[in-house]
Structures are given as C-alpha cells and as structure tokens.
C-alpha cells in the first residue's frame, strides 16, 4: 500500500508551561480557534517554554462521535480528557533529553515525521479506519505487493472468532498460492538486490565475522533444500532446527520453507528434556544442529544434548530419528572431538556444497503450515503454536516496515534468537521480505565487556536496534561509560520487545543509548499473534515512556472486566482482541481443543491474550504483565510489572522481579527480588526506602512484604526472567525448582537461596 508522504497541517502548543493542547495535536479541522502552525512550533526553539498560550479548545459534537472500533484511538484527535483544561502538560521534541521523571510525552521532530512512512495522527487514523472497515481491500492491496503463483479466492478472510458459534476458525488469503522463501529471496534478487548484503554475521569473538548477499544466501538455501529433498523431506514434513545464531539458522528456516517443510526451531539453550518433548510431539524427519557454540567464554556442546534427546525420544516416545545434520562450528569445537553415530550423523559441510544452487520452489496454499514454535512452558506438554504461510507473510512484512519506519538504506539488528518468535518474525522473515540488511550475532551482549552491543552498532552502522527490556536494564546497570565510549551516531530507531519496559529504563534507553535522537518502538505482541499488535509508529504520534501506545492496522484491542464486559475510557483489565488479523496463529499442533480452551473460552467472542492492560485518559495502552503475574492483595489486583517499575525508579535499584506468595491475612503477599546498582551495599535503610518508593508511586496496598537481595536474577540465555524459579524460592519450595538448564547462569539460583533470609 502506498502511503502519501505529505505532513498534515496541525495546530500545537507544547512545553513545560500552561498548555491547552495534547501533543498528539488536535487537527486544524477539529479546532474552532487554532493556535499556531506546526512549522512555527518546531522552529520556535527554547522560546516555546516561555510563551503562554491561552486559547482554549472547543470541540464540536460531530468530532466527539466515534465509530465503535475507533473510540479509544480517536482520542488522539482530542484533548487528553476529551474536554476540559490541563494546567500543565510536560512534553519535549525528539532530539531533547528527558530531563525528569515528569516528562510525559516525546513528540516526533518535524524532520523525522516528514520522512516517516506514517507522518501524523490523521494519516494513521485514515489507514487504521480503512483496515477495520474494509479489511479485505486493505490487506489485499498490501498482499498484492508480493508474488503469488495464484491469487486467493473471493474471501480474503474467513473466520469464526466466537466459540459459541462452533469451532474457532481463522483463514486469510485461502486459495492463494505462494512461497515465503521465494518472496524473501528470489523476488529480491529479481528486483536487482542480489548484491545487497542480506546478513552481516558477527561471531562470539569480535574478530569473527562474515557476510552473505541476497544472491549468496539464495544459493546456500537452495543447496540445503536440495539435500533435504534428497533424504526424503517432503511438503508438510517437520524438521527440527536446534542451532545457535549462525547464518545457517536462517538458511535452514528458509530452506524448509522453500520445499514446503514445516520447521520447528528449538532455542539452542533448551535442555535435552525440552528438546525430547518437541521431537516426540512433531515427529521430525531430520534434526539439524551443530557440534557446539561459544557464548562468551563458555562452550556449549549442542550435539551431546541432541544425542541425548534423540535417544530419549526413541526410548520414551517411540520416535526414531534417522538423520541428524550437523554443522561444524570450528570456533567452538574441533570436528574430531565431536561424538558421532555413523549412518545417522552427517556433516553439513560435507554434503550441502555438492548440491545445485538452484532448487524449484514448492508452491503452497496461504493456509498451509509454515512453522511450529513451541512455547517454553515449564510444566506439562509444550504448546506447539502453528503459523501458516500467507497471512503471516503479509503481516510480518507490514509490521516490520511501519513499526520501525524501515527504509531500504537501513541496517537492522534484532538481538533476539531465532529460537523465539521474535527471531522468526523480525530477524528472518519480516526484514527479508522487505529486502533488509540484517545483523545476526552469535555471542553474548556482555562479552568481552558490556560495550559489545555498541561496538557492533558502530562496526555495521546499525540504524535500527531492537532488543529486550531485560538487556536494557542489564546494560543500564553496568553504567553509561560502556555506551558513551562508542559513537552510535548511525542509530535512527530503537525498539523494545518481550515484556513491558519500565519508564526509567525507557528513559535511559532514549537518553543514553539513543542520545535523545531516536524514537522507541515499544512493541506488544506474542508468539501467538505472529507480529506486532500494539506499537508506536515512530513518526506518527508522541510517545509516553513505557507505553505501547496504539494498535497496529487491523488490530482491535479491547479491555474487559472479569465478566468479559468491555470497559470504556480510562481503565484496567484483561486485554483481548476482537476479530482476527493476518498473522494470527491457527491452532495448537495436534490439540485444537486446547487452542480454543486457552485462548477463546475465557471471554467468548474474543481472543484472550492472557495479559493485563490499562488504558489511560489519552487512549494509550500500558501492559501490566501476564494475568497470572497479577497479585491479589486484600482484594487489590496488582500487576507485578507495575510494582517492578516502581522499584526500579529508585536510583539504587538496577533491576527487580516481583512474585506473589501466600499470605494468611491478605491472601497473597508481594515478594520482591531486587538487584542493586554496582557498589551499593545492602542495608536496612535501602530496604525501607524501596518500600516507601512503592508506597509513594502506587500506594500502601502495593508495598512489598519482603525485599530479597539478588546479586542476579535467573534468566534464560535470551534474557527472559524465569519467574517459576523465583516463585519456588519465595515459597521455600526448594525441592521443586525443576529444570534450570536453560539459565544463562545457573549459579544465581544458589546465591538467591543463600540470601533468602538476609
């Protein structure tokens, strides 16, 4: 879809002075008495902070009426409360630092907005409204930009989203014949991008790097695809990929997609037990792995883990794996030191170069499976989230383009592993569908020191940097010096993914990493959604630190109460989605009943995200964490993310994780694990100060019952905090800690246990 690049005229007055306008800017057509133009505002410099603006806004009744689906989005056009006077509104323009915790808004600069893919609230509203009122036309127009061997049928979308009307069904572009690998690679080569770098690979050691152009990547994908076909892998067969962040990981994903095989990437940090579960469930024709990988100074013997999993799959599940393709990673392990089973194990480098660099495409229906990605649940059978081809392709490409304001000249780096959905959608498929140049990093972000990320940013001139709040907080804890010794001048857009980012970390990310120049796309989405659902569009509207802001095109978020009743205006409740979107997952592999029960039965007529959410008076969305991470204290429902954010706002708190524990009086109590800034000693006074901070920012009812000092938090190698372990430690159920093999540093658990009563 072509989006016009004109900047719409708006009226605005901002600053830390009396102000009558929301920086989301009431449009000229909405105002009876305009203030002054946006160009005047952007050019007035520091003078705007001394000027007083006494004009008031008078809304016509026509402008207050909204369509049902726009009722919380169109607040962007209006005064923050819908009407009335706000005596002080604190806002800055992109390029200025967020000086205090009281700064509420960061407004796109005129220069950034004028070049953005979406440039104003009015432009967004026009597109969003069409995506809801005419989804067939909206998504057909976008889908037509990709190659389809055969166009879809009369229905763009066919769905039943209400379990009361029968089985849940979601179909997009049914009857359309395409191939996502062709659209990622062949289509770009044919468009003249063959010599453009597709992947910049950065090894664990700073001295190791490599590149692949789109032509070279296509050649290697075809060679692997031909090998897989030769050993009997066919359309619809499953392939397990257990690889670290080598270039061979996206190569393997694309090779499977090329021949219609269903890939299931398993994060190369999962234990043999977790890998066994996935092998038994999807019954793959082949497992692809490498002999070992180094994460920082530590070598991880992946082939040994695979050997155990293959053995256990046969013993416990009757699943026999006849072929295991092994990539030799010489920087981590010598070939001769690798354990080997003749007849089953094959070296990647020995066989794939023998195959042709062209491979016919297996054309698939839009609703044919593309990949299985298992959620990393700690107990019970893992959930195999199934995504299909056509809708996922269209949605990931579109969300990547607009949420990051992608330009063809950008160098993009997402720090996620392809073992997670972020690596699928925003390392491999979304970027390559747009012909982007992507950085793939094998190592650890703190190796050889905490400046490694910014060294990589400068080395490759990264313009878009997308990472997790956990990493942001970790680097924040290590100090500004590791950041500021590098230039980072290439950075243009920052992004956050995986969990709500607390405002203090958001401000540090914005002020220090981005030098106050870069908007932050704080994205909310899930493995199940396939792509961004609620996200800033960097040039379209102001950002609030810590808020995911507004829904992406075609997404209709609602907040409901415990009875499933939609709540209007400023509120807090359960986040649900009305109607489907192209990137939605279609089922849980082999268990459609569980799919319906988990996601569609809790609130009939909606997709239930499992997340809590609040919406402020301006219509901005704030994610409060998983509903099962909501603590009910004496009848107060308290989001753990909210308490964590309050704790981390204390200058001596580097990171916090909050869980609920049983309390004989209150039902549940609040138990907080706190990591302090380096050099700060544990003390009773600090403990009191932290509790007072929560009381001040949230209320006495949210004050932690226990502060547990934590030198570190138990995290997976992707940076996720394993709250299951924290709950067991808090409850003193130390014999029920379960599998800790996926932790980046398992010794943290013993440290936490030792400090339990300190």
Is the model's pLDDT at 67 over the cut of 60?
no
Tell me the two tokens of residue 187. Answer: 């289509």
**What mean pLDDT, rounded, does the chain reach?**
86
Is the model's pLDDT at 135 over the cut of 90?
yes
Burial of 464 by CB count in 10 Å (0-12 exposed, 13-18 middle, 19+ buried)?
Answer: buried
- Whole-angstrom CA distances from 440 to 199, 244, 248, 302, 406 are 7, 10, 11, 19, 18
Q: Which of 102-116, 279-293, 668-682 has the highest mean pLDDT?
A: 279-293
The whole-number pLDDT of residue 373 equals: 96
Is the model's pLDDT at 52 over the cut of 50?
no
CB 673 within 8 A of CB 640: no
The whole-number pLDDT of residue 71 equals: 63
Q: Report which of 456, 463, 415, 469 is spatially closest to residue 437, judged by C-alpha positions.
A: 463
Tell me the two tokens of residue 436. Answer: 């982007």
pTM for the model stands at: 0.82
Q: Report which of 497, 488, 494, 449 is spatially closest to residue 469, judged by C-alpha positions.
A: 497
pLDDT tier for residue 104 given thresholds of 50, 70 and 90: confident
pLDDT tier for residue 640 given thresholds of 50, 70 and 90: confident
Q: What is the pLDDT of residues 306-337, one digit of tens each?
A: 999 999 999 999 999 999 999 999 999 999 99
- DSSP for residue 27: B
The per-residue DSSP string of 108-126 comes to PPHHHHHTSSS-SHHHHHH
Q: Compute the average pLDDT of residues 644-659.
A: 92
CB 114 within 8 A of CB 10: no
The whole-number pLDDT of residue 633 equals: 77
Q: What is the pLDDT of residues 402-448, one digit of tens each?
A: 999 999 999 999 999 999 999 999 999 999 999 999 999 999 999 99
Q: Of 22-31, 130-139, 607-616, 709-718, which gets the smallest average pLDDT?
A: 22-31
Q: Compute the average pLDDT of residues 15-27.
A: 29
Which residues share a beta bridge with 615? 571, 621
- Whole-angstrom CA distances from 231 to 17, 234, 326, 611 are 71, 9, 14, 43
The whole-number pLDDT of residue 113 equals: 95
Between 635 and 748, whose confidence is greater? Answer: 748
Is the model's pLDDT at 2 over the cut of 90?
no
Helix (H) or strand (E) holding 658: strand 653-663
Is the model's pLDDT at 92 over the cut of 70?
yes
CB 748 within 8 A of CB 297: no
pLDDT tier for residue 700 given thresholds of 50, 70 and 90: confident
Q: Compute the average pLDDT of residues 528-536.
A: 98
Is the model's pLDDT at 87 over the cut of 70?
no
The whole-number pLDDT of residue 70 equals: 64
Distance in angstroms (rounded) separating the CA atoms of residues 713 and 730: 13
Q: What is the pLDDT of residues 163-214, one digit of tens each?
A: 999 999 999 999 999 999 999 999 999 999 999 999 999 999 999 999 999 9
CB 712 within 8 A of CB 655: no
The whole-number pLDDT of residue 245 equals: 97
650 backbone dihedrals φ, ψ, rounded to 5°: -70, 130
pLDDT tier for residue 90 given thresholds of 50, 70 and 90: confident
pLDDT tier for residue 48 given thresholds of 50, 70 and 90: very low
Omega cis (within 30) before 448: yes
CB 105 within 8 A of CB 23: yes
Q: Compute the average pLDDT of residues 642-658.
A: 91
Alpha helices, DSSP H, located in 271-385: 272-282, 302-317, 348-351
Between 667 and 207, whose confidence is greater? Answer: 207
The whole-number pLDDT of residue 100 equals: 64
Q: What is the pLDDT of residues 246-270, one digit of tens each?
A: 999 999 999 999 999 999 999 888 8
Which residues are within 8 A (CB) of 456 and not within 5 positions of it... i.e. 6 or more apart?
202, 413, 439, 441, 462
3-class DSSP assignment, residue 323: coil
Q: What is the pLDDT of residues 539-572, one digit of tens each?
A: 999 999 999 999 999 999 999 998 999 999 899 9
The whole-number pLDDT of residue 36 equals: 25
Q: Compute the average pLDDT of residues 346-356.
A: 98
Annotated active-site positions, please? 628
The whole-number pLDDT of residue 381 equals: 67
Between 494 and 106, whose confidence is greater? Answer: 494
Q: Report which of 355, 282, 271 is spatially closest to residue 321, judged by C-alpha positions.
A: 282
The whole-number pLDDT of residue 281 equals: 95
Is the model's pLDDT at 586 over the cut of 90?
yes
Q: What is the pLDDT of residues 683-699, one digit of tens each?
A: 999 999 999 998 887 77
Tell me the two tokens of residue 143. Answer: 């889908």
């Amino acid at each position: 879809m072509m989006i016009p690049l004109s900047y719409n005229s708006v009226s605005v007055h901002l600053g830390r002075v009396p102000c009558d306008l929301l920086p989301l800017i009431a449009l000229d057509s909405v105002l009876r008495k305009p203030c002054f133009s946006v160009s005047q505002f952007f050019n007035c410099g520091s003078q705007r902070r001394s000027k007083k603006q006494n004009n008031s806004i008078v809304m016509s009744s026509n402008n207050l009426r909204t369509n049902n689906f726009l009722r919380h989005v169109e607040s962007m056009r209006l005064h923050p409360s819908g009407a009335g006077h706000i005596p002080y509104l604190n806002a800055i323009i992109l390029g200025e630092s967020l000086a205090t915790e009281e700064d509420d808004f960061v407004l796109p600069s005129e220069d950034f907005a004028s070049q953005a893919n979406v440039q104003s609230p009015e432009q967004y509203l026009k597109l969003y409204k069409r995506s809801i009122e005419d989804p067939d036309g909206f998504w057909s127009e976008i889908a037509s930009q990709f190659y389809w061997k055969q166009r879809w049928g009369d229905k763009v979308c066919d769905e039943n989203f209400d379990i009361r009307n029968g089985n849940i069904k979601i179909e997009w572009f049914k009857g359309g014949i395409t191939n996502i690998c062709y659209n990622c690679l062949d289509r770009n080569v044919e468009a003249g991008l063959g010599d453009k770098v597709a992947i910049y690979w950065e090894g664990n050691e700073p001295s190791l790097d490599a590149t692949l152009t789109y032509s070279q990547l296509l050649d290697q994908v075809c060679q692997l695809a031909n090998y897989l076909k030769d050993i009997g892998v066919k359309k619809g067969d499953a392939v397990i990929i257990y690889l670290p962040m080598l270039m061979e990981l996206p190569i393997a994903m694309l090779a499977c997609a090329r021949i219609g095989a269903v890939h299931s990437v398993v994060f190369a940090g999962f234990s043999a037990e977790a890998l066994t579960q996935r092998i038994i469930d999807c019954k793959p024709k082949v497992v692809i792995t490498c002999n070992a990988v180094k994460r920082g100074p530590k070598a991880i013997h992946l082939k040994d883990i695979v050997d155990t999993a293959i053995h256990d799959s046969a013993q416990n599940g009757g699943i026999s794996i006849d072929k295991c393709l092994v990539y030799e990673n010489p920087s981590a392990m010598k070939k001769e030191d690798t354990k080997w089973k003749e007849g089953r194990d094959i070296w990647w480098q020995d066989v794939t170069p023998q195959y042709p660099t062209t491979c016919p495409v297996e054309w698939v229906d839009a609703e044919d499976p593309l990949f299985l990605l298992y959620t990393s649940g700690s107990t019970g059978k893992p959930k195999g989230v199934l995504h299909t081809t056509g809708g996922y392709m269209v949605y990931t490409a579109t969300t990547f383009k607009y949420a990051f304001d992608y330009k063809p000249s950008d160098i993009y780096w997402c720090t996620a592993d392809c073992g997670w959905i972020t690596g699928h959608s925003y390392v491999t498929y979304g970027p390559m569908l747009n012909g982007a140049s992507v950085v793939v990093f094998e190592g650890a972000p703190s190796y050889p020191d905490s400046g490694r990320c910014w060294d990589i940013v400068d080395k490759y001139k990264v313009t878009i940097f997308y990472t997790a709040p956990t990493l942001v907080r970790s680097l924040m804890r290590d100090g500004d010096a590791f950041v500021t010794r590098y230039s980072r001048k290439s950075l243009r857009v920052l992004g956050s993914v995986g969990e709500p980012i607390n405002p203090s970390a958001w401000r540090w990310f914005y002020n220090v990493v981005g030098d106050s120049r870069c908007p932050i796309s704080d994205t909310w989405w899930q493995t199940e959604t396939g792509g961004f659902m609620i996200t800033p569009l960097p040039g379209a509207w102001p950002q609030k630190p810590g808020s995911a802001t507004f829904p992406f095109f075609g997404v209709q978020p609602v907040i409901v109460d415990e009875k499933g009743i939609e709540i209007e205006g400023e509120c807090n409740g359960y986040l649900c989605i009305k109607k489907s979107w192209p990137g939605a997952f279609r089922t849980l592999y082999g268990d459609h009943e569980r799919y319906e029960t988990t996601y569609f039965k809790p609130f009939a007529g909606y997709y239930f995200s499992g997340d809590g959410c609040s919406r402020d008076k301006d219509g901005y969305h704030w994610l409060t964490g998983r509903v099962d991470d909501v603590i009910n204290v004496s009848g107060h429902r308290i989001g753990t993310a909210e308490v964590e954010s309050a704790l981390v706002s204390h200058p001596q708190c580097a990171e916090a994780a909050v869980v609920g524990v049983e309390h004989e009086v209150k039902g549940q109590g609040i138990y907080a694990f706190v990591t302090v800034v380096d050099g700060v000693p544990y003390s009773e006074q600090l403990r009191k100060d932290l509790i007072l901070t929560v009381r001040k920012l949230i209320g006495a009812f949210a004050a932690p019952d226990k502060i547990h000092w934590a030198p570190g938090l138990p995290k997976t190698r992707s940076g996720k905090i394993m709250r299951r372990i924290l709950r067991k430690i808090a409850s003193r159920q130390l014999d029920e800690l379960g599998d800790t093999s996926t932790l980046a540093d398992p010794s943290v658990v013993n440290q936490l246990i030792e400090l339990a009563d300190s």
